[in-house]
Chains A and B, each alone.
Chain A
């Protein structure tokens, strides 16, 4: 079945550092890919998405490119802020039921001032 694997956390960085959170997937067909963010005590919010190969999703300074050849969707940000501290989830849509999301295990990110 479809699956998503994220880099193990937790990840701790200093403010203004460069961020990469790796995400690879296994899927049949052509899923859509997502990054969701969960701030402390809150539900998940969609951060960005890409629906086909080579698409780049971007939002709030974060970017991720849908790489079909490497089955990856790595999340990057050039200069992180303390307010970016959260748990980040990579996910893909299950084509069998287009709204169903298959999530990675989540990566906790802490940014120190």
Chain B
């Protein structure tokens, strides 16, 4: 089954404790992206990647890191989480090519930073 998976689905942590949220897709997509969803703000892009070893900042990258060592994986790293990073996080992927291609979203990771 074609899908985007994220782990963990739920995470409660404390300020300053490094964490990683994993994202994996099995569709051989070149493009992968991370969004955060906050009430009243919709989804905002954190980082994206056009291919292996190619990453770039989105609209709200502060406090986050990413890596793209393999095509299928795109982990989101919070080196020193703070309470303002409490949010619902979504990973998405799509093909690159002519036109705008459908993005497939993971099920989300709800993060609480105390």
Contact = CB atoms under 8 A, between A and B. Distances in A.
Contact of A100 (B37, B40, B58): B58
Interface string B1-14: 00010000000000
B65 interface: no
Contact of A43 (B42, B101, B106): B106
A43 B31 contact: no
Given A43-B90, A97-B48, A100-B33, A105 B40 contact: yes
Interface string B82-113: 00000000101010100111110111100000
B103 A46 contact: yes
Given A43-B105, A43-B107, A45-B105, A51 B41 contact: no
B97 to A, nearest CB: 9
A101 interface: yes
Contact of A51 (B44, B48, B99): B99
Nearest to B29: A99
B48 A89 contact: no
Q: How large is the interface on A (under 10, 10 to 19, 20 to 34, 35 or more residues)?
A: 20 to 34
Contact of B100 (A4, A93, A104): A93
Given A97-B48, A99-B100, A99-B101, A42 B107 contact: yes
A88 B100 CA distance: 20
Given A99-B33, A100-B58, A101-B103, A44 B90 contact: yes
A105 B106 CA distance: 19
Interface of B: 4, 31, 33, 35, 37, 40-45, 48, 58, 90, 92, 94, 96, 99-103, 105-108
Interface of A: 4, 32, 36, 41-46, 49, 51, 89, 93, 97-101, 103-106
| 6 tightest Cβ-Cβ pairs between the two chains A and B | A43-B105, A103-B42, A44-B105, A103-B43, A32-B100, A105-B42
Given A32-B99, A99-B96, A100-B45, 10 more contacts: A32-B100, A43-B4, A45-B105, A89-B42, A98-B99, A99-B94, A99-B103, A101-B43, A105-B41, A106-B42
